[in-house]
């Protein structure tokens, strides 16, 4: 993921006010995630934005951590948690890379990475780090725009939008290529639950063996 939070800082306030694009699919994804959780679990939400998912997971977990590159996003997330009286959610600001040290390897029971992988140039490294952070048997969930599934020429469009400052750097790939990378990282029991999302959205669930 780009270490430059400039774009996300600019859009944080409007992002926080925007409704979920597909609330029915989002609710199904959340239900599938919480069904895998135990009250003692420690869960990390990577690319947490303004904390919407992290706050929904909080009643089902012992501790929820949210990570985002944008200080403005995590500021808003922290304010939302405080306003809601939620005390078991902790937000961290920074990139998900070798500099992220807030959580020791092998200490997570679950990990969510929604709307994240299309913003990551080195998905192999990100998946390897996720695998290390999970305990044996820990669950992994991702909901990813896999824009390679579409006939729309997203590569040149995204390049132009990035050049104009209207979009972050983003990468185009298919669901199958992401699935191959997830399995190659060591995850098992990969499944693709049907949540009624758009065709280019890859919703995938897996776990670390153990």
Per the structure, the complete domain to which residue 153 belongs is given by 6-207
> How sure is the predictor about 166, in pLDDT bands with cuts at 50, 70 and 90?
confident
* Residue entry with tokens 């890859």: 202
Statement: residue 33 has pLDDT above 80: yes
> How sure is the predictor about 3, in pLDDT bands with cuts at 50, 70 and 90?
low
DSSP string, 73-95: HHHHHHHHHHHHT--SEEEEES-
Residue 27 lies in a domain: yes
CATH number of domain containing 131:
3.40.50.150
**Alpha carbons 13 and 73: distance in angstroms, whole number:** 8
Residue 91 lies in a domain: yes
> How sure is the predictor about 134, in pLDDT bands with cuts at 50, 70 and 90?
very high
DSSP string, 147-173: GGGSSS-HHHHHHHHHHTTSS------
Q: Where are the beta strands (DSSP E) in the chain?
A: 42-46, 63-68, 89-93, 108-114, 134-145, 188-191, 201-207
Q: How many domains does the chain have?
A: 1
Mean pLDDT of 99-122: 96
* Residue entry with tokens 């995630």: 33
Mode of pairing for the β-strands spanning 188-191 and 201-207: antiparallel
Residue 1 lies in a domain: no
Statement: residue 206 has pLDDT above 60: yes
Statement: residue 1 has pLDDT above 60: no
- SS3 state of residue 34: helix
Q: Which residues contact 11 (CB under 8 A, 6 or more apart)?
A: none
């Amino acid at each position: 993921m780009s270490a430059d939070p400039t774009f996300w800082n600019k859009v944080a306030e409007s992002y926080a006010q925007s409704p979920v694009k597909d609330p029915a699919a989002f609710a199904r994804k959340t239900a599938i995630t919480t069904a895998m959780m135990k009250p003692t679990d420690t869960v990390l939400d990577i690319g947490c934005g303004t904390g919407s998912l992290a706050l929904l997971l909080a009643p089902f977990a012992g501790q929820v951590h949210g990570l985002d590159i944008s200080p403005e996003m995590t500021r808003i997330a922290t304010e939302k948690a405080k306003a809601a009286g939620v005390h078991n959610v902790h937000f961290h600001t920074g990139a998900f890379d070798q500099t992220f040290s807030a959580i020791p390897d092998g200490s997570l029971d679950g990990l969510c990475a929604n709307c994240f992988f299309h913003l990551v140039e080195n998905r192999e490294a990100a998946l390897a780090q996720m695998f290390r952070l999970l305990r044996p048997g820990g669950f992994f969930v991702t909901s990813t725009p896999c824009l390679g599934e579409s006939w729309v020429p997203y590569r040149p469009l995204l390049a132009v939008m990035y050049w104009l400052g209207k979009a972050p750097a983003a990468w185009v790939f298919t669901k199958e290529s992401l699935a191959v990378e997830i399995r190659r990282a060591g995850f098992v029991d990969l499944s693709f639950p049907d949540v009624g999302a758009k065709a280019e959205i890859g919703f995938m669930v897996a776990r670390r063996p153990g």
